[in-house]
Each structure stands twice: as structure tokens, then as C-alpha cells.
Amino acid sequence: MDTTSTTVLVAKGLTKVYRMGEVDVHALRGVDFTLHQGELLVLLGASGSGKSTLLNILGGLDVPSSGTVHYLGQALHSASQSELTRYRRDNVGFVFQFYNLIPSLTAYENVALVTEIATDPVAPDEALALVGLGERLHHFPAQLSGGEQQRVAIARAVAKNPRVLLCDEPTGALDYQTGVQVLEVIDRINRELGTTTAVITHNAPVAKVADRVVTLADGQVHRDERNMTRIRPSEIRW
């Protein structure tokens, strides 16, 4: 795979300061970052290293305090709320640690929630089949296991045919076995659909499935290295 081709996301000098109660928290302190077309990138870091903040800004869920971020040349740091909404709607698929499914909607309907507003979606049942849930279309989140819920969340993210798939600790709430299954789904989507993917984890062995690994520590990029031996999720152990 030619990972040097198109750069999908470019961030320069990103900082982010939160006010949490009575203290300022510097989540990002000058981060430069790129995400290339078709690659599977793993963002590693301890909790509090700023990786979720970075991912949220890349996905248009949050805006930086300073610095710039561009998606295929479009400035996201200065985009309006409605531009960010459109960006998320058309280009980004999200997978969250806690799935964030709508509890009152079935698996199928949770996916349909997105396909109904997307411009070029795949059918919800197809997306669910892709994550191996073709049989559980009409179950509510409460009737699904954690791994199944996360796979619904992935189906929901990819059903819109996003250019970028952003996953925040997708295995964080799951046991090993289930976590591997979820990673396999993400890996397959990246390989088969060519969706540019960024996965956050604090779990170092997971990095072996990536094309590139960026390590964050204390709000800064600590390491950025290419993984020459990308392996299948089923081969990893932790």
C-alpha cells in the first residue's frame, strides 16, 4: 500500500486547553500530525496523554485552542458548527469506547440513523453483515453483548462509506476475545474498503496491527514510526 500518497488529515501546532472545574488542563501542547489515505494508524498513549482530544479534533467533534487542522485542504480549526456537522456527516465514521448506541433503537435502526442522512451509504443490513451481525438486526442494544454492541457501532460508522474511520478505544470496554473480534472487523474494513482508519488504544500490543504508530505522551507526539510487519489481529496477544 502506498502510504505516502494523499494526505487526508494534516494538523500543525495543535494545542487544547480545558478548564476542568477550577484548573486548566493542557491536553495538547503543540501536536503536528498527518493521516494518509488508506492507512491504518494506531494512536498509543497512556490515559491523559491527549490522544482522545487529538482524535476528537480530527473528527470535528471538538476545536483546538490553537494550531491548524486540514481535511483534504479544508480548514477544520476555523470551520463553523454547520460546516463541522457536514464534515462529520459526509466524511467521518466514529467508534467510541462506550459504543454510544441509541438505547431505544435496534441494531438495524442505529445504523439506519446514519444511512438516512448520508449521501452515499450502504444498506444497514449490509453494513451489519460486514461486522458479522447479519442475524441480530432487530435486537436492542440492551439485548446485545458488549462486543456485539461495539460491532453495531462499527457498522454504524462504516455504513455511510466514510473517508475516515476514527475509533476511540474500541476495545477498551471489552475482554480479550471480544476485543480481537472487534479489531478484526476494523482491520478488514481498512483492508477491503480502503477506509483511512485511526484507532486509539492504550494497549501497546494492539499497535502491531497498524501501518503506522504514533505515540503521545503528555500532550505531545513522542514517537511516530512505521510498522514494517503489520500482523492480523488474531495473531496478537496481550
Partner 1 sequence: MLISALDRKLLRDLSHLRGQVITIALVVACGIASYVTMKSAFQSLVYSQSTYYERYRFADVFASLEQAPAAVAERLTAIDGVREVDTRVVQRVMVPVEGLTRPAVGTVVSLPRHGSRGLNAVHLTRGRLPDPTRSDEALVLDAFAEAHGLSPGDRVAVVMNGALRQLRITGFGMSPEYVFTMPPGAMSHDPKLIAVLWMGRDAVAAAHQMEGAFNDVALTLEPGASQADVLGALDRVLAPYGAFGAVPRAKQPSHYMLSSELSQLESMAGFVPVLFLFVAAFLLNVVLSRLVYLQRSQIATLKAVGYADRDVGLHYLKLVSLVVLLGAVVGVAAGAWLGRAMTELYTGQYFRFPTADYRLTADVVVISVSISLAAAVVGALAAVRQVVSLPPAEAMRPPSPVVYRRSVLELLGLSRLLGPSARMVVRELERRPLRLALSSIGISLSVGIVVIAGYWSDAIDYMLDVQFHRSMREDVTVTFVKPLSARAARELQSMPGVWRAEGISAVAVRYRAGHRQRDSALMGYPRDLELRHLLDSTGERVTLPPTGVVLTRKLAEVLEVRVGDSVEIELREGSRRTTSATISGLVDEPFGMQGHVDEETFARLIGQSPTINTALLRVDRAERAQIFERLKRLPWVAAVSYPGEFREQFEGQSGSIMRVYTLILTLFASIIAIGVVYNNARIALSQRSRDLASLRVLGFTRGEIAAILFGELSAQVVLALPLGLWVGHLLVQALGATVDPETYRLPVFVSLRTFAFAIAVTVVSAVISFFLVRRKLDQLDLIGVLKTRE
List interacting residues with partner 1 (CB under 8 A): 20-22, 52-53, 56, 59, 61-63, 81-82, 85-86, 88-90, 92, 94, 96, 98-105, 109-110, 112-114, 116-118, 142, 146, 156, 160, 173
Kindly tell me which of 53 and 190 has the beta carbon lying closer to partner 1.
53
Give the count of beta carbons closer than 10 Å to the beta carbon of residue 46.
12
Cell numbers found for residue 137 = 438486526
Cell numbers found for residue 168 = 476511540
Alpha helices (H) along the chain: 51-58, 81-91, 107-115, 124-130, 146-158, 176-188
Eight-state DSSP code of residue 192: I
Kindly tell me which of 21 and 237 has the beta carbon lying closer to partner 1.
21
Contact 152, 82 (CB under 8 A): no
Q: How far is the CB of 84 from partner 1 (least distance, A)?
A: 9
Q: How far is the CB of 82 from partner 1 (least distance, A)?
A: 6
Contact 103, 141 (CB under 8 A): yes
Kindly tell me which of 26 and 230 has the beta carbon lying closer to partner 1.
26
Q: How far is the CB of 34 from partner 1 (least distance, A)?
A: 21
Closest alpha carbon to 88 in 125, 114, 113, 65: 114
Kindly tell me which of 14 and 209 has the beta carbon lying closer to partner 1.
14
Kindly tell me which of 23 and 228 has the beta carbon lying closer to partner 1.
23
Cell numbers found for residue 197 = 482508519
Kindly tell me which of 117 and 204 has the beta carbon lying closer to partner 1.
117
Q: How far is the CB of 100 from partner 1 (least distance, A)?
A: 4
Cα–Cα distance for residue pair 97/164, rounded to 1 Å: 17
Q: How far is the CB of 12 from partner 1 (least distance, A)?
A: 20
Q: How far is the CB of 146 from partner 1 (least distance, A)?
A: 7
Cα–Cα distance for residue pair 73/65, rounded to 1 Å: 20
